[in-house]
Structure 1
């Protein structure tokens, strides 16, 4: 079921606030999918999703390999409930973007991640949402 990005239903928003570990799918340079579990947050007002990551990770390398941004998907499932956010990902290295991603992660997951000088933020400009929650 397609979800309107401009007006997601309250149950869809609530599902993205619950403690779940979504998977992030990024395209490798050869076009094959790379899928890994991540901590992710959803910002419906900004139409953004964020993932904190180490700058040396494969997922970051995959996003950086697409200079115009990489098409990605975040998906989470809990029993019969599922939700997917799709969009174009960019790696953000500025302090403000990283701090905002950490703030949102802490809010969703109830813990502050350990300090990491190699941390970056994968910011996803959302283009589509779907799910059944």
Structure 2
């Protein structure tokens, strides 16, 4: 089922507020998908999803190598029983301290725990272009 990523129905948004491990799919240099478990926060008002990560991780390297001027096409997904939700968009890596702090705050809110300290933290910021699912 297609969802407006900037105006999701309440059930879809509630599902993204629940605590779930998600997956992030990024393109490897050879074009094959790289899928890893992550925590994701969803901000429909801004049209963004955010993933905090270490700047030295493969997922960050994949986004950077695929990004070019326009960013890298990625997807995040979560499932719980018959419920599922996918957000797709264009990812960039952000290093600004205020954006990292905001992403950490959002993560702590969704996952009910602060992320461990990481001086190498960055944010994979995904400008959403599509949403789908059944919540």
TM range (shorter): over 0.9
The two structures have a TM-score, normalised by structure 1, of 0.98
The secondary structure found in structure 1 opposite 2:30 is: coil
The CA distance in 1 between the partners of 2:123 and 2:93, in whole Å, is 6
The CA distance in 2 between the partners of 1:73 and 1:37, in whole Å, is 12
The CA distance in 2 between the partners of 1:46 and 1:22, in whole Å, is 20
Aligned partner of 1:132 in structure 2 is 134
Quote how far apart the aligned CAs of 1:6 are. Answer: 3.2
Gaps of 5+ in 1: none
Matched-pair contact (CA < 8 Å) for 2:5–2:87: no
1:46 aligned onto 2:46: yes
1:106 aligned onto 2:77: no
1:96 aligned onto 2:98: yes
Q: How many residues align?
A: 133
The two structures have a TM-score, normalised by structure 2, of 0.97
Aligned partner of 2:23 in structure 1 is 23
Gaps of 5+ in 2: none
Runs of 4+ off more than 2 Å? none
Aligned-CA RMSD value: 0.6
